[in-house]
Amino acid sequence: MARILVAEDDDNVRRFVVQALGIHGHDVSEAEDGGLAAEILMEEAGGFDLLLSDIKMPVMDGIALALQAGAQFPEMIIVLMTGFADQRERAHNLEALVYDVLSKPFTLDLLLAKVDDALNGRPLEVESLARMMA
């Protein structure tokens, strides 16, 4: 499966995402803020297939992390997460860089589907999304 770096400052959300992706067969690393995630990306020299990052974090937010990661590792897929509408709007200005933005709270099924679709280069179908949200 894929190597994924999860950057999330909320311990509970980070644990949920890391466990879910690990059970799904992915090799998952984690960071509790954007600054640590940037360090991990540099140490691993682009060894990740996907960066899954919260937008609103201390030290370095997800937007800055995405800009830095996208410039250094353009082949890596980036998916952002947020529970704030204004942050989601900021991310949509990065459409060429960010695969998608996952709105919090999200279900396990939606998380796994979004990651699978991002890794396989498929957009999440609206009908599938509606079923997962129900």
Burial class (CB in 10 A: 0-12, 13-18, 19+), 61: buried
30-62 residue pLDDT tens: 999 999 999 999 999 879 999 999 999 999 999
Using alpha carbons, list the distances in angstroms from residue 65 to 17, 19, 36, 104: 18, 22, 10, 19
Q: What is the pLDDT of residue 101?
A: 87
Which of helix, strand or coil describes residue 37? helix
Using alpha carbons, list the distances in angstroms from residue 119 to 49, 79, 115: 8, 10, 6
**Hey, what CATH class is 3-133 in?**
alpha beta
Q: What is the pLDDT of residue 96?
A: 75
55-91 residue pLDDT tens: 999 999 999 999 999 999 999 999 999 886 655 566 5
Cα distance between residue 122 and residue 16, in whole Å:
24
Residue 118's closest CA among 87, 76, 83, 89?
A: 76
Q: What is the pLDDT of residue 5?
A: 98
Mean pLDDT on 104-128 = 81
Q: Considering the entire predicted model, what is its pTM?
A: 0.86
Please say if the pLDDT value at position 130 is more than 80. no
Please say if the pLDDT value at position 16 is more than 80. yes
Q: What is the pLDDT of residue 84?
A: 63
Sorting pLDDT into bands at 50, 70 and 90, what band is 98? confident
Where do the domains of the chain lie?
A: 3-133
Percent of the chain surpassing pLDDT 90:
68
